[in-house]
Amino acid sequence: MPHTVTLIPGDGIGPDITEAVVRVVEATGADIQWDRRAAGVAAIEQHTTPLPQETIDAIRETRVALKGPLTTPVGVGFRSINVALRKEFDLYANVRPAKTIVPGGRYEGVDIVLVRENTEGLYSGVEHYIGISGDPRAAAESVMLVTRFGVERILRYAFEYAVKNGRKKLTLAHKANILKYTQGLFLDVGREMAKEFEGRVEFEDRIIDATAMQLVMDPTKFDMIVCENMFGDILSDQIAGLVGGLGLAPGANIGKDAAIFEAVHGSAPDIAGKGIANPAALLLAAVLMLEHLEMRDEAGRISRALESAIREKDTLTPDLGGTGTTDTFADALIRRL
C-alpha cells in the first residue's frame, strides 16, 4: 500500500520547489501517492478562502502533509494560515533540526535538533490591557500558560524522538530560576521523566540565556534541545543561523492525529517565477517526513545526495553561491540517487 501524502504547493516559489522535491523523492522509489490540495493565496480564487475545508479534510484523512510556503493574504480574516493549521490539528511539537552542510562556515560539525512546544507558554494568546486614570493602555499583560498536560506531551515527544533517532543527549532549556511556577513545572516534569529514560538518553538542564551563549561559543556541545514556545521560537532561528540561515532550515509540526512538514522560509515573492528558488529546505522537510513514515532508507539517501551536491557545488542555486536553477539543482540530486 502506498502512503498517501497531502501536498500543498502553496504560493510564490512554493509550486516550483514542491515539484522539484516531488521529483527527488520519486527518484528514490519511495512508495508515496501525492494528494495535491490548495491553500494560501493560491486557494482564494477557486475556494474563496486561503484555507479550504477540503484541504483540512484531506489532511485529516492522510494525516501527513508536505506544505510549500503560504503567503499570508492582507485583508482576509486570517492572521496566519500556518497558525490556523497548527490550531486545527493541535500540532503541539515543532521540530527544527539544523546540521552543518555548507563547509567553511563559522562552525563545523553542528548537528542539533530543537523541539519547541507549539501550543502554550507565552504565546497562548491570553493578553489584555489595563486602563488606569483615562489611559486605556496604561499597562498590558500576557499570560504564560503552562499545563502539566502540555509539558508532559512535549517532553515525552522529545525523549522518544531521541530514542527513535539515536540521539544521545537532551538539554532542557528553561528559566526556572526566575519563572519559578511556569518554568519550574516544565523543569520538574523534565527531571522526573529523565529517570524513565535513564541509560537511553542523557539529560541535562540549562538556563535559557546561558544556553544561548553556549550555542554561540560551542554549538557542538548540544545534541537535542527542548523548550517552551517563545524560547523555542528564538533559539530555533538562532540555531538555523549557526548553520547558514533559512535556505537549509526544515521544520516539522507534529500532533497526535496529523503531521505537517515545511520549509522554515516563506514564499519569497522577490524571486517567485524566476526558477532560481532553492528547494533544499523543503527537501529536508521531506526527509523529516520520510523518517516520520519510517522510510529511513529513502530519507538517508536524499540527505547524502544533498550533502554531496552542496559540498561539490553541483549546480547550486544563487543563494548557495551557484548559478544553477531549481530544476538543475534537483537534477543534480537525482543523478546522485
- What 3-state class would DSSP assign to 66? strand
Q: Determine the Cα–Cα distance for residues 122 and 144; give it in Å rounded to an integer.
A: 4
Burial class (CB in 10 A: 0-12, 13-18, 19+), 43: buried
User: Which 2-41 positions form the footprint of ligand NAI (CB under 6 A)?
Assistant: 13, 17
Mark out the alpha helices in the chain (DSSP H runs): 14-27, 41-47, 53-62, 81-88, 148-164, 182-196, 208-217, 229-242, 280-292, 296-311, 326-336
11, 92, 161, 175: the active-site residue: 175
User: Which 125-164 positions form the footprint of ligand NAI (CB under 6 A)?
Assistant: none
Cell of 52: 479550504
Residues 275 and 325 sit within 8 Å (Cβ to Cβ): yes
Q: How far apart are CB 46 and ligand NAI at their closest, in Å?
A: 19
Q: How far apart are CB 281 and ligand NAI at their closest, in Å?
A: 6
Spatial CB neighbours of 315, under 8 Å, sequence gap ≥ 6: 309, 322, 323, 324, 325, 328, 329, 331, 332
268 makes contact, choosing from ligand NAI, Mg ion, none, with CB < 5 to 8 Å by partner type, with ligand NAI
# residues near ligand NAI by CB under 6 A: 21
Question: What x-and-dash track marks residues 269-308 binding ligand NAI by CB under 6 A?
Answer: xxx-----xx--x---------------------------
**69 vs 190, beta carbon nearer ligand NAI:** 69
Stretch that binds ligand NAI, among 123-131, 163-171, 179-187, 262-270 (CB under 6 A): 262-270
Q: Give the bridge partners for 116, in sequence order.
A: 94, 227
Long-range pairs for 183-187 at CB < 8 Å and ≥24 separation?
Answer: 183/146, 183/228, 185/146, 185/148, 185/151, 186/146, 186/151, 186/155, 186/228
Of 112, 122, 235, 268, which one interacts with ligand NAI (CB under 6 A)? 268
For the question of residue 135 being annotated catalytic, the response is no
User: Which 71-100 positions form the footprint of ligand NAI (CB under 6 A)?
Assistant: 71-72, 82
**155 vs 263, beta carbon nearer ligand NAI:** 263
233 makes contact, choosing from Mg ion, ligand NAI, none, with CB < 5 to 8 Å by partner type, with Mg ion
Q: Determine the Cα–Cα distance for residues 168 and 160; give it in Å rounded to an integer.
A: 12
11, 67, 92, 123: the active-site residue: 123
The tally of CA atoms less than 13 A away on the side-chain side of residue 274 is: 13
For the question of residue 209 being annotated catalytic, the response is yes
Report if residue 233 touches Mg ion, rule: CB under 5 A: yes
Q: Give the bridge partners for 250, in sequence order.
A: 263
Question: What x-and-dash track marks residues 185-214 binding ligand NAI by CB under 6 A?
Answer: ------------------------------
Stretch that binds ligand NAI, among 157-165, 166-174, 264-272, 302-310 (CB under 6 A): 264-272
233, 314, 319, 331: the active-site residue: 233
CB atoms within 10 A of CB 28: 21
- What 3-state class would DSSP assign to 267? coil
- Residues interacting with ligand NAI, by CB under 6 A? 13, 17, 69-72, 82, 246-247, 262, 265-271, 277-278, 281, 319
Report, as residue numbers or ranges, the catalytic residues.
123, 175, 209, 233
Provide the binding-site residues for Mg ion, judged by CB under 5 A.
233
